[in-house]
Amino acid sequence: MAAHFLKYRDIGRRLVWTGLLELASPCHLGGADADATSDRPLLRDGEGRPYLSGATLTGLLRALLARVDKDAAQALFGANWGDPEGKQARLLLGDARIASEGPVPTELRDGVAIEACSGVAAKNKKYGLELLLVGVRFHLRGQLELFGKPEQDESLLRGLLRILLALENGQLVLGARTRRGFGETRLAAGPEGYWQVEDYRLDTPAGWYAWLGRKLHGLPEDWPKDWPKVAPVAYRDTAALAKYLKVALPQLTETGDFSVTLNLKLAGSLLIGSEGHDPDQPDRSHLQRLRWRDDASTLESVLPATSLGGVLRHRCRRIALTLAGQSGKQLADRLVDEMFGPAEIRSNQKAWASRVTVREACIEVENHCAIPECGSIRGPAARWKACCLPRTPNTVERSSWNCVCKPVTRIGLDRREHYCCWRCATWPPAS
């Protein structure tokens, strides 16, 4: 037992690195809570604060590194499960806590499945997600145990640089529904750069004193009075850290993926329904998400990737059915499932993730409101209120719309149209 331990725990140097990871899109890190107000609540610690667990972060970074270098992934994160002779991990990652000290609000987002044939909501397919806001930051902290010998440490350092480079390029995605725009990340730069690194040389007594005394409260009496300390050093980016470590910066490896960026402009109105965040808002508002910045949240209108992904799947299926005909319906459905994942996962059925990744996009919503007739609602509530709100405040105060409807111009159209205020129940007179 002792010989086995010494064989695989030869440590001559420790690198401790820290950084700030920021959410670039809403994120769901799932947990369990019997008193939750959503179907899928967030993971929380004993104090009730959401966090990113070290086990989740380790698994994601291992999978990210294994795509380009399996040997480096095994050297850094240890042997695969079930290997009794495998080595222990040399890269240790702790739980990532939210950087903000105060309470961090979350948002609830409803999801619903749409029947491909009828275009209406599917039965028993509505669910609610609790999401962390865009802009929430996590404190990342990792520790790399090195041998202290350049010829043995080079491969470990190169693997670490690949991971840090992937974080810097926003390749890490967290949580659920990552193929539908959730969980995108980016690094947040501090005053002096992305990374803070502490380098402990454990081949000398001074290095061990520095390592053991870094977090001691109340030093022993025989502790050296002039014991050395290691101060964190800031590095602008991963390239600057690679220069300090004297290791060549790894090149990005092609993965076979390709991306398409579209700049779309609406030809008409758009309303993706949401209950809104304000009780004074209309009954139906365009979907908005919260952005966390400087310990405060702001609203911004979005085109959710879940809606866009569903539309793309439905359109792809129609094209496949047109080409294959009714006799090739099974072939068309299999093609769509291969691209977008299975529509339903039954018992004993193999599941796989979507090959198509769609990102959530911020949009500018036109400043207009409408109260259409809705014959599908029975009873006295035969008229319902709907509103598409802009991301920026109106030039006309909403309080002045209490009784008088204001004409507004629809952007992108050659003619002027009138729209009614959501507080009024009548259409404005035609001009």
Q: Are strands 296-303 and 288-293 parallel, antiparallel or unpaired?
A: antiparallel
Tokens matching residue 132: 């962390």
Please give the backbone phi and psi of residue 234, each rounded to the nearest 5 degrees, phi first: -90, 140
Nearest to 158 by CA among 93, 232, 71: 71
In this prediction, residue 192 has a pLDDT band, given cuts at 50, 70 and 90, of: confident
Residue that is written with structure tokens 């507004």 in the block: 408
Q: What would you measure as the largest C-alpha separation in the chain, in angstroms?
A: 92
| pLDDT tops 50 at residue 397 | no
- Determine the Cα–Cα distance for residues 23 and 173; give it in Å rounded to an integer: 9
Please give the backbone phi and psi of residue 292, each rounded to the nearest 5 degrees, phi first: -95, 120
- Determine the Cα–Cα distance for residues 287 and 304; give it in Å rounded to an integer: 8
| pLDDT tops 90 at residue 198 | yes
pLDDT of residue 24: 93
Q: What is the mean pLDDT of residues 141-148?
A: 92
Q: Return the higher-pLDDT residue of 385 and 195.
A: 195
- Highest-scoring range by mean pLDDT, 21-35, 107-121, 163-177, 357-371: 163-177
pLDDT of residue 90: 92
Give residue-wise pLDDT tens across range 341-396: 887 777 777 888 889 999 988 876 544 444 333 323 233 333 333 444 333 333 33
Position 218: which residue type? G
Is the Cα torsion angle 311, 313, 316, 317 positive or negative in sign? Answer: negative
| pLDDT tops 80 at residue 199 | yes
pLDDT of residue 404: 41
Residue that is written with structure tokens 């590095």 in the block: 235
Q: State percent of the chain over pLDDT 90.
A: 28
pLDDT of residue 57: 94
| pLDDT tops 90 at residue 173 | yes
Position 265: which residue type? K
- Determine the Cα–Cα distance for residues 194 and 241; give it in Å rounded to an integer: 10
Nearest to 65 by CA among 56, 55, 54, 75: 75
pLDDT of residue 167: 93
How does the average pLDDT of the chain come out, rounded? Answer: 77
Q: Return the higher-pLDDT residue of 412 and 228.
A: 228
- Determine the Cα–Cα distance for residues 118 and 128; give it in Å rounded to an integer: 23
pLDDT of residue 43: 86
Map residue 98 onto helix, strand or coil. strand
Domain ranges of the chain: 2-245, 262-274+364-431
Position 258: which residue type? F
Q: State the burial class of residue 141 (Cβ atoms within 10 Å of its Cβ: 0-12, 13-18, 19+).
A: middle
Q: Phi/psi class of residue 159: alpha, beta or left (left: φ > 0; alpha: ψ in -120 to 50)?
A: alpha
Nearest to 361 by CA among 412, 306, 315, 313: 306
The residues with which 128 forms a beta bridge, in sequence order, are 110
Q: Are strands 386-388 and 368-370 parallel, antiparallel or unpaired?
A: antiparallel
Give residue-wise pLDDT tens across range 293-325: 877 888 888 889 888 888 899 899 999 989 888
Q: State the burial class of residue 64 (Cβ atoms within 10 Å of its Cβ: 0-12, 13-18, 19+).
A: middle
Write down the pTM of the prediction: 0.76
Q: What is the mean pLDDT of residues 63-80?
A: 88
Cα dihedral 144, 145, 148, 152 in deg (nearest 10): -80
| pLDDT tops 70 at residue 23 | yes
